[in-house]
């Protein structure tokens, strides 16, 4: 596990003001560390001046900062030429479409969009299902804690 400084362009606030606004004014503010996890880092190809990497990381990882750190470690001046996200959570790139593509697809009469779109609960599909009574459901929906089998849910 790594601990990285929060990058100035990330969406974080200090005293209600975004970090990037401080940076634009040249004001240096103390930044917190954020824990990140690099699950996988592989060099896919390299030539004289370009390295192609495949990185699988935790949410909140700022890839440009990782590349800056790599350049510092190698004593080279580096920058990101292209950044391509190939998966977001449980959504792989082969399931992603653009709004333009979706607009084109909606006009095809014989195409069922339900076969393309993912269900609304798919982002949390990895969380186990817990069945509770209507009474407990009512309590839970009010933001109150509920307990089951002597364990807090």
- pLDDT (0 to 100) of residue 13: 66
Mean pLDDT, rounded, for 114-135: 83
Cα 148 to Cα 3, 63, 106, 140: the distances in Å are: 36, 41, 45, 12
Higher pLDDT among residues 140 and 116, named by residue: 140
Cα 47 to Cα 27, 43, 50, 63, 64: the distances in Å are: 39, 11, 5, 21, 20
Q: What is the mean pLDDT of the chain?
A: 80
Which of 26-35, 39-48, 81-90, 101-110 has the weakest average pLDDT?
Answer: 26-35
Mean pLDDT, rounded, for 123-127: 81
Which of 6-10, 83-87, 102-106, 145-149 has the weakest average pLDDT?
Answer: 6-10
Specify the pairing of strand 17-18 against strand 51-57: unpaired
- The two three-digit tokens of residue 32, written as one number: 């917190």
Alpha carbon dihedral 10, 14, 20, 21, in 10-degree steps, equals 160
Q: Are 148 and 132 in contact (CB under 8 A)?
A: yes
What are the percentages of helix, strand and coil residues in the chain, rounded to 5? 25, 25, 50
């Amino acid at each position: 596990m790594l601990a990285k400084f929060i990058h100035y362009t990330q969406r974080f606030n200090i005293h209600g003001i975004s970090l990037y606004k401080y940076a634009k004014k040249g004001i240096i503010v103390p930044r917190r560390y954020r824990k990140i996890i690099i699950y996988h880092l592989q060099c896919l190809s390299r030539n004289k001046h370009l390295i192609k990497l495949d990185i699988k990381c935790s949410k909140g990882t700022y890839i440009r900062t990782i590349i800056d750190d790599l350049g510092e470690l190698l004593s080279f001046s580096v920058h990101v030429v292209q950044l391509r996200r190939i998966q977001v959570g449980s959504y792989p790139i082969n399931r992603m479409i653009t709004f333009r593509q979706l607009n084109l697809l909606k006009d095809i009469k014989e195409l069922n969009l339900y076969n393309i779109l993912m269900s609304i609960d798919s982002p949390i599909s990895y969380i186990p299902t817990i069945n509770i009574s209507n009474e407990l459901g009512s309590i839970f929906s009010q933001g109150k804690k509920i307990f089951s089998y002597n364990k807090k849910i």
